[in-house]
Structures are given as structure tokens and as C-alpha cells.
Structure 1
Amino acid sequence: MSKVKKFVIFSPPYNEKWGGVVVLHKLCHLLNELGHDAKIYPHYEQFVMDKVNFFHTLKLFFKVELKYLIKKLIKGFETNPHLNTPVIKPSKDYQVDDDCVVIYSEIVLGNPLNAKNVVRWLLHQPGFHYGQIMYNPGELLFKFNSAINDFEFPGSKTSTQELKVIHYPLEHYNLNEVPVEKKGIAYCIRKGKHKKLVHNPTNATLIDNLPHKEVAKILKKSKQFISYDTYTAYSIFAVLCGCESIVIPDEGTSEIEWYPKETDRYGLAYGFDNIEKAKLTAHLVKEHIIQEEKSSLMNVKKSVDEINQFFFDKN
């Protein structure tokens, strides 16, 4: 019998445009599907403040956190109605039980819920977003997939089991109503803001911050999709819509280092020189991600087994 009683996932409100948020909510859903008691605790920003960066941090607080709070007051905490994701109402008296496991993504600083048992889910390279890593000894870390670099934190354990959870909106991204002749270029920047544009944006369509329905329409018309974000799922969505999907490489990172597993590279050209090679595996992408989505439940089950061993089977 499972020894962990409850899970709390520290997550922002559901937003279909942000893959990390989508999988946090999907993880909560899958844990409930497995019979566990899993809930979402609304994410709030953490700030490191000292006498050197006091005013900068204060400015950041007003820019980021207050904007989020105002939006939350107006719209409430959004969830996906198709997922089983109960939400905990935050309060100053809220406490995490000792038989509960709290799951934080890699961007969360410290242990804001003061939980005894902490799982850190590395959805991106630690420190990528904010340049800071503030974890604690005694945590259990899971990498999302093979793209995450090997990472160790003193006093904690990084599992060899990948916690890969997939949620692809195939109702939008498919070959339905794709024209015989596709033209033009679509592109995204997202987390690739540091990269120089290598295409002419004048006659190209930027998809950043558009809803899935609109993005799918654009991709179905476009011949090529260029992503400056090395690890966005939109590169896969483009393949599903019949695009040549090109990822602008990270400097100093080889194709194998980018995605060590060949199946994770299906249909994707790492740079313009690899387009023809990517076409050879494009037909394998849909079946691969369908199988990956089916595997998500098993990945969660295996991770729960390791969570039990790490936190509750020590004696």
C-alpha cells in the first residue's frame, strides 16, 4: 500500500500557452487518477532580498507579484475543466502534514510551504529562468526528460527515473484541412530571447502568446516553423501540422547533447542543415507522442514508488 497520503503541487493557474504549467496540472490529475489525494496550491513568487538588491527586488515585486495578484482577483485561479485538479485556498494558517509530499518545479526558491517531504521536478535546466538555485538538502529530484542536464544538489538525490508527463492538444495539431501547398514561415521566440534572429521576420508570423486554435491555423498554412526556444513543445506541434520544424541550436550544445534520446529528436531539425534528416522521422512523431502520453501514467506510478522509498522506507 502506498505510504504517501497526500500530494500538493505548487503551481501557477492553468495556462495552455505554457508547457511547464500544463504538465504541473496534468501531474496533479494523474496522481488523482492513480487514487492519491493530490491538490494544487497556488504558486506565488519568491524573492531574495538583501541590502545590495533591496530596491531592485522591491521593484520586481511590484512588477511581477502585484500584477499576478490583481489578475487572480479579477479572473480567479484558472484550472482545466477536463483535469481533476482541486485547488487549496491559501491561508496564513495552512500547514502541510508530515505524511504529505510537496512538489515544486525547478524555478521555486527554497521551500515556501515549509514541507517535510519535498520533490523538485526539473522541467528546465536549474537556474535557466532567473539565474538562481535555492534548493535544500533532503529533497528528491526528478528530471522531466533527457534534455535536462545531469544535476546533483548536496544532500539530495536525483532520480534516474524520468518523470515525463505529456499533454498534447491533438484536437488542434493535426493534418486536417492542411493545404496541398504550404507557404511561408512561422516562428517563436519564447525562451530564446538571447538568440539573434537568423530569418527575416518581415514575411514571417510570430506565434508567441497566441492560443492553440490560432497557432494551429498558422502552422497548417506554413511551410517552415523556426523555434528560437530550444525545448518548446511547439516544435513538435509544427511537425504534427506538416511543417519543416527547425530549432535554432544553443551555442556550444551538440544535437546529441540537446536531446540524448533519438526518439525525442524525431521530426526536428537542429539547425537548417538537418532539415532533410528530420523529414525521415517526421512520420513517427504522432505515434511516438501518443505512446508517450500513455506512458505518462506509468512514469508517475514509478515515481510515486521511489518517493515512498525515499521518504517513508528509510527505517
Structure 2
Amino acid sequence: MAKFLIFTPSYNEKSGGVVVLHKLCHILNELGHESYLFPYAYTYEINRFNFFKNMCNFVKWSVYNSLRPFKSNVHFDTPVFNGSINNLDDFVVVYPEVVFGNPLGAKNVVRWLLHQPGFHEKRFYFSSGELIFKFNSAIKDFNFPGSCTSPNELKVIHYPLEHYNLSNISKKRSGYAYCIRKGKGKSFVKDHSKDILIDNLSHQQVAKVFKEVEFFVSYDTYTAYSIFATLCGCKSIVIGDAGVDKKEWYPLDSDRYGIAYGFDDMAWLENTNELVKEHILNEEKKCKDRVKNFAEESIEYFRL
């Protein structure tokens, strides 16, 4: 058994990346490993052109984070690390791809690509010797000099099925819901002035919307809300990114079950809709096996 430290923001049910970081810690503990959360700290590249700007950002976020409590999911086994960061040689530290460098100065670093490197921050900075894991087939093949990219995906999922289901659905659906999220800047494909924007709503509120409207349009190509809508019987449509075709979006057919890639892909949605629930339940079952393999590969790679 090994020790793991997961570098993550405070729990936020609206952020899929944060949810799976906490879930990874939980599953590792379920498997008998010693795993902790480490509160996320914003990391910056400092140079002579941005010194004052990023120093102000550092102070702002340091004060902000010190004033709010770090949250975790009460249903997860995710203790917060309270040891010394000067003694992490026997830990595997897991950073999501948005973390700039190695802020904890860890000896054994796993970089978990939850999105394309550079998508959020417009730059990335990793280091040699890291073990890199892609989240799923949507992440493009990636290699970094001196590091090793695992051939195995580390796909950890958590679907709040207590909200997203076919209970209490409307007998007569009408209208649209939509989300922007990471699709900010895209041109709208229709007039949304009378539609419901789900961004920043709670799961309970979103589920209620999905059970009443007929269509859900997502400008964020990789949000789990597209699947959540399908689970509620809503027709889920993703508006693709420019120049990215359906197979590039998700190479695996199973990752696209029940979701139309544009309004001209409705036949695929209709033909695969009933496969979604079974696929999700199977993916939930596979989570532990994926995390088990991840832990074993990390132990072997870092010779722990």
C-alpha cells in the first residue's frame, strides 16, 4: 500500500474536475491506501512582465482562501493533510493539469489531465520524471520530455443519480435549457432569451429543469451535464468546437451515447439513448479497477 496526496480545490458539486479529484482520494482510501486531500493553492509564473500583477493575485487569493473553510463531501472518505510538506518523499502527489509546476516540491508527481493541457490557463508547466494519466478518450495524446504518459486512462466518475433520473418527470415537456460554462465565447446557435441557463444552479435545481424541458444545449463540449440531461429524459445536444469533428470530440462511441453532436446528429441520440444508463453503471463499477491499476502503476513507476 502507498501514500497519496491529491492537490485539489475545496469540494464544489458544480465542478466535475473538483468532484473527481475528491472521488479519487475516496476510492484510494477504500482500496486500503493512505490518501489525503491537500488544499489547492493558485500557482503563477512570475517574470519581469507580470511580477506586480501576479503578486497582487497571490495576495488576493491567499487572503480569500484563508477566510473560507475548505469543504469536502461528507459521504467521501477524504481526510485533509495536516502533516509537513517537507517530508513527502514517500507520497505520490497528484496534480491536475492546471497546476503550474510542482508547488509542493514533491519527489513523486502524477499529472492528471482532466482537460487538454493549457486549455484553462493558456499555458502549462510540468516537469521531467512525472507520470501522466489522461482522464478519458477526449484528451488528445500527450507526451512531455522526460516524463511517462500511461497507456491507461484514469477515468473516475461520480454521477449523482439521486437527482438525475426519471422520477417525477413532466408529462408534457417543452422549451430549452442551456449551459455555457467552458464554452464561453462561442456563438449561440439559437435565441436563448426565453431559455433556462443552468450555469451556477445546484444539482437539485438543474435536475428539476431537465425533467421539464425538451432540449438541453451545451456549449461546453465536455461537461457531465450533457449526460445528466439524458438521464432525465431530456434531449441533449452539444455544440462542437470549430474544426473538431464527432470522432475527434470523443473517439469512443460509448462516450457519446445519448448525446447529439449538433442538431443534425439527432438520429444518433435517438438510437443510443437507452444505452446511457447501463453504460454509466458499468463505468461506475470500473472506477475501482481503474484506480487500483493507477495506484499499482504509480508504485512501480516511483519504486515505492
Structure 2 partner of 1:166: 157
Is the Cα–Cα contact under 8 Å of residues 224 and 246 in structure 1 kept in the other structure?
A: yes
Is the Cα–Cα contact under 8 Å of residues 186 and 205 in structure 1 kept in the other structure?
A: yes
Partner-residue secondary structure (3-state), 1:302 = helix
Partner-residue secondary structure (3-state), 2:5 = strand
The CA deviation string for residues 222-251 of structure 1, in whole angstroms up to 9 with x for no partner, is: 100000000000000000011110000010
Within the alignment, does 1:68 sit opposite 2:65 as a pair?
Answer: yes
Structure 1 partner of 2:25: 28
Alpha-carbon spacing, 1:273–1:153, altered in 2? closer, same or farther (3 Å): same
Is the Cα–Cα contact under 8 Å of residues 173 and 216 in structure 1 kept in the other structure?
A: yes
Q: Which of 36, 42, 45 is residue 45 of structure 1 equivalent to?
A: 42
Quick one: distance in 2 between partners of 1:141 and 1:61? 27
The CA deviation string for residues 256-310 of structure 1, in whole angstroms up to 9 with x for no partner, is: 0000000000001111100122111011111111110110000001111211221
Alpha-carbon spacing, 1:63–1:191, altered in 2? closer, same or farther (3 Å): farther
Quick one: distance in 2 between partners of 1:244 and 1:167? 21
Amino acid at match of 1:68: N
Q: Please tell me the root mean square deviation across aligned C-alpha atoms, in Å.
A: 1.3
Partner-residue secondary structure (3-state), 2:169 = coil
Structure 1 partner of 2:79: 86
Partner-residue secondary structure (3-state), 1:8 = strand
Structure 2 partner of 1:149: 140
Q: Which of 168, 179, 188 is residue 197 of structure 1 equivalent to?
A: 188
Q: C-alpha displacement at 1:105, in angstroms? A: 0.3
Quick one: distance in 1 between partners of 2:203 and 2:287? 22
Q: C-alpha displacement at 1:63, in angstroms? A: 5.2
Within the alignment, does 1:58 sit opposite 2:55 as a pair?
Answer: yes
Quick one: distance in 1 between partners of 2:149 and 2:89? 21
Alpha-carbon spacing, 1:188–1:62, altered in 2? closer, same or farther (3 Å): farther
Quick one: distance in 1 between partners of 2:187 and 2:196? 17
Partner-residue secondary structure (3-state), 1:280 = helix
Quick one: distance in 2 between partners of 1:253 and 1:61? 36
Quick one: distance in 2 between partners of 1:83 and 1:150? 31
Quick one: distance in 1 between partners of 2:97 and 2:62? 18
Q: C-alpha displacement at 1:200, in angstroms? A: 1.1
Partner-residue secondary structure (3-state), 1:7 = strand
Partner-residue secondary structure (3-state), 2:248 = helix
Quick one: distance in 1 between partners of 2:147 and 2:215? 43
Partner-residue secondary structure (3-state), 2:274 = helix
Alpha-carbon spacing, 1:276–1:105, altered in 2? closer, same or farther (3 Å): same
Q: C-alpha displacement at 1:55, in angstroms? A: 3.1
Q: Which of 233, 248, 258 is residue 239 of structure 2 equivalent to?
A: 248
Paired residues in the alignment total 304
Q: C-alpha displacement at 1:59, in angstroms? A: 4.3
Q: Which of 8, 13, 37 is residue 11 of structure 1 equivalent to?
A: 8
Partner-residue secondary structure (3-state), 1:202 = coil
Amino acid at match of 2:275: L
Is the Cα–Cα contact under 8 Å of residues 96 and 113 in structure 1 kept in the other structure?
A: no
Q: Which of 94, 108, 124 is residue 115 of structure 2 equivalent to?
A: 124
Quick one: distance in 1 between partners of 2:65 and 2:185? 25
Is the Cα–Cα contact under 8 Å of residues 17 and 211 in structure 1 kept in the other structure?
A: yes
Within the alignment, does 1:267 sit opposite 2:258 as a pair?
Answer: yes
Amino acid at match of 1:228: Y
Amino acid at match of 1:284: L
